[in-house]
Structure 1
Amino acid sequence: MPYCWRWAWVSKTVTTLTAIDQLLNDYFDACKVLVIAPLRVAEDTWAREIEKWDHLQHLRISKVLGSATARRKALKADADIYVVNRENVEWLVSEYGSKWPFDTVVIDELSSFKNSNSKRFRALRRVRPMMKRVIGLTGTPAPNSLMDLWAPMYLIDQGERLGKTITGYRDKYFNPGARSGHVVYEWKAKQEAEERVYEAISDIAVSMKAEDWLELPERIDRTIPVSLSPKAQEQYRKLEKELLLPFLDADVVAQTAAVLSNKLLQLASGAVYDEDKGVKLIHDAKLDALEDVIEAANGKPVMVFYNFKHSLSRIQERFPQARILRKGKDGIEDIRAWNNDEIPLLLLHPKSAGHGLNLQESSCRMVVWFDQIWSLEEDQQANARVHRQGVRHNIVVIRLVAEGTMDEDVVAALERKAAGQDALMEAVKARIERVKTA
């Protein structure tokens, strides 16, 4: 089997480790294995899964992490599996050059290589011909659109199925949409493109969903409307209007829409950065709502996702018992403490904690989104930190939504599974129209 691509919501780590063990010790079809993973996953998850399963405990793992000196020492260690964080892929490729030693490479969270212009993708692409086998793992293979599939699939089969270049793939399966001059800002999938793309990769892709194979406890989604005081409403409307007025008669492109949306979502959560990077406080309504949620948890741990630094600092100020996941060995200890119910309130950023972490062993029943985000991929991955194999009770995913604000647009898009650049631009343009007619 020259290639394998497997994505799943659950058990992907132990499944892959079992396959690696067989390739190394039963079939003798792999010699040196590299795992590329998000930093926290590289630090904790792979080694911990080996320790948990009797049939895997003979596997030796070396973590290629830390300083350059520590990483070089780890590469020289006698091990079965070498684990590196994705930020060091470029360094690893430059370290070995044409003497790349890994015949089998596992990319944990393959969708993080979806950008064909990123340094990590280009580095891995250079040494891809020296790999015998690449295994990709992800719960969100095409998080925003089919366009996201080309780069990950190229790393799997070097362009055999979807084309050697992103341009060729785009021309075959997409039509140009919104543009400014010669610059195309969005691409629309052609009719039946999805069916044709999935058919093209069907021989090397295995798709499994938890609901198809496991009886997970129920996940309950709740939106808690957060009412702003008349004064806070007035402040929000005033600042929203000031932000949007310059664009009444101008085109809003993706970059501008992202900036405007970011500001409006900050306002909805209660604070916004001013021109001097200071924090302008608007309201505490979400903090009050979070306090009610924590009280309703009756002493059970609560997990909270935030997106803005000022949200983090304000939550920490209101709730001194709150903890964040630290880096390195301290972070591993934090994961252990959380899973043993020693942390009552855990604050996570979806970008740093959305992939691969096993946080389902605590008695946490409530996951709260303090800030709302446009990324459907990050939203799904973050919620899956708790609602996954191993959880023994229902999970309630709560979104704190400031009424009459951009929060409502984001949640509506997530419910349609449409969150992304297109939905973001539509929401911003709709708010500009409201300002125009106000």
Structure 2
Amino acid sequence: MKYKAHPYQAYATNFILEHPIAAILLDMGLGKSVITLTAINKLIQQGQVHKVLVIAPLRVAKSTWPDEIQKWDHLKGLSYSVVIGSPAQRKAALLADTDLYIINRENVKWLVEDSGVAFDFDMLVIDELSSFKSYQAKRFRSLMKVRPLVKRVVGLTGTPSSNGLMDLWAEFKVLDMGQRLGRYISHYRERYFLPDKRNQYVVWTYKPKPHAAIYDQINDITISMRSKDYLQMPPLTMNQVKVNLSSSEQEVYDTLKNQLIVEVKHQQINALNAASLANKLCQMANGCVYDEDKHQILIHQRKLDALEDLIEGATGKPVLIAYWFKHDLAQIKSRFKVREIKTATDIKAWNEGQIPIAIIHPASAGHGLNLQAGGSTLIWFGLTWSLELYQQTNARLWRQGQKQPVVIHHLITSGTIDEQIMRALARKDKSQLALIEAVKAELNGGKEYEQHYVELLG
């Protein structure tokens, strides 16, 4: 297929060409893979780059990047090797003589420390830079060992600060080795943040200082683009469907919340710490809770009833249901005939309109999964605290190419932690949007970059 870059795509590709270190913050659907591959192709043609490593989520590494290379005529000259499978298969893929080596992020530690193959890449692309937001993670530490060996780095993500601006330190440390936000997380915290929630001397959370100049520090290597500014996005309706517990059901919930222990149907439910309590309250809000032996105990079916109403209200149109806990899946399956979206066959069947009710877990509904052809209604049965998973799941249906207005329903159990999760997602989104707006790409209408796309294609 012939590639005619949109002005924003030519702008982003040109930005990568002109910046050896580049943070490209692009919303889902803007074509970050082809933007980056076009730049890589040009750099290889110019002799500036010879060996490129792409780190991506597993599904994206396995399918999306290879598919993009094969899709576009101007990329036909690029050769690639997908570094997945058994250790022997991965090593063989690394030893192949090729331009691009595409590996999933879970194997970064193996690549650096255990593969036995020299790390001699001169360009690094991190697809979903946000997956390196934890400076304590093994993948981050391993990559930092070899980061000085790489002369060009591109970080791609649409969710750079899904848990707040503290995430940015590790992400930009991978990019510039601490040049802009500091070499140490402690210095970053001290310079840009104030203690927020604490327990005596232990600080649990931090908040940005007034007028913290984080955006100014990263602006020179960062651009951001939002889908609504460049794409014809379908209309979107976000809806909250409230359900109410009975007095006895609410009492069970409140007892666990206040006392960290409650007896339900002769089974004792304990919450040993704050994390355990939050997890069990989420379970209860959805309808069930696990006991110590991992047996599910039914608390209510309020969300199931509301889900039934929504499915009936869809009047035969396909619906996609997002669940969180395994007992959510079991409860939904007990009432409805559903099909899980797990394989390429499932995806194809959904997009061909063969699945009236589909169900998916947000962790498997992430990057590179296109479901917009199969339906336009998404129902969140169980919520997630993760803004990244939340936005990525929504973007499976609400994206360019969707022919119908999209409706996203959220089943919210009143008086429960569900309400806190929705508020938390809204707060995180506001913080992230502030960052994206601060480093927003200015195309001057895009006119000056239209001429570049011909040159970029060689």
TM-score interval, smaller chain? 0.7 to 0.9
Q: What's the % identity of the aligned pairs?
A: 47
Q: What's the offset of the Cα at 1:178?
A: 2.7
Which of 374, 378, 385 pairs up with 1:374?
Answer: 385
Structure 2 counterparts to residues 4-403 of structure 1, below 5 A: 4-9=22-27, 10-25=30-45, 27-95=46-114, 99-193=118-212, 196-228=213-245, 230=246, 233-245=247-259, 256-325=273-342, 331-354=343-366, 356-403=367-414
Give the aligned partner of residue 435 of structure 1: none
Unaligned runs of 5+ in 2: 1-18, 262-271, 432-458
| Distance verdict in 2 for CA 1:71–1:236, change over 3 Å | farther
Whether the 8 Å CA contact 1:306–1:371 is kept in 2: the answer is yes
Q: What's the offset of the Cα at 1:411?
A: 2.1
Deviation digits for residues 85-107 of structure 1, max 9, x if unmatched?
Answer: 11111001114579312111111
Instruction: Provide the rounded CA distance (Å) in 2 between the counterparts of 1:61 and 1:300.
Output: 40
Q: Secondary structure at the match of 1:163?
A: coil
Instruction: Provide the rounded CA distance (Å) in 1 between the counterparts of 2:225 and 2:322.
Output: 26
Structure 2 counterparts to residues 415-430 of structure 1, below 5 A: 415-417=426-428
Instruction: Provide the rounded CA distance (Å) in 2 between the counterparts of 1:107 and 1:197.
Output: 21
Q: Secondary structure at the match of 1:137?
A: strand
Deviation digits for residues 406-435 of structure 1, max 9, x if unmatched?
Answer: 222322333444799xxxxxxxxxxxxxxx
Letter of the structure 1 residue corresponding to residue 365 of structure 2: A
Q: What's the offset of the Cα at 1:149?
A: 0.2
Instruction: Provide the rounded CA distance (Å) in 2 between the counterparts of 1:100 and 1:407.
Output: 46
Q: Secondary structure at the match of 2:220?
A: coil
Letter of the structure 2 residue corresponding to residue 69 of structure 1: A
Residues 170-179 or 204-213, more deviating? 170-179
Residues 257-266 or 205-214, more deviating? 257-266
Q: What's the offset of the Cα at 1:353?
A: 2.1
Does the alignment pair 1:2 with 2:20? yes
Deviation digits for residues 66-124 of structure 1, max 9, x if unmatched?
Answer: 11111112222333222111111100111457931211111111111101011010000
Unaligned runs of 5+ in 1: 248-254, 326-330, 421-438
Q: TM-score by structure 2 length?
A: 0.82
Q: TM-score by structure 1 length?
A: 0.85
Whether the 8 Å CA contact 1:360–1:390 is kept in 2: the answer is no
Whether the 8 Å CA contact 1:110–1:137 is kept in 2: the answer is yes
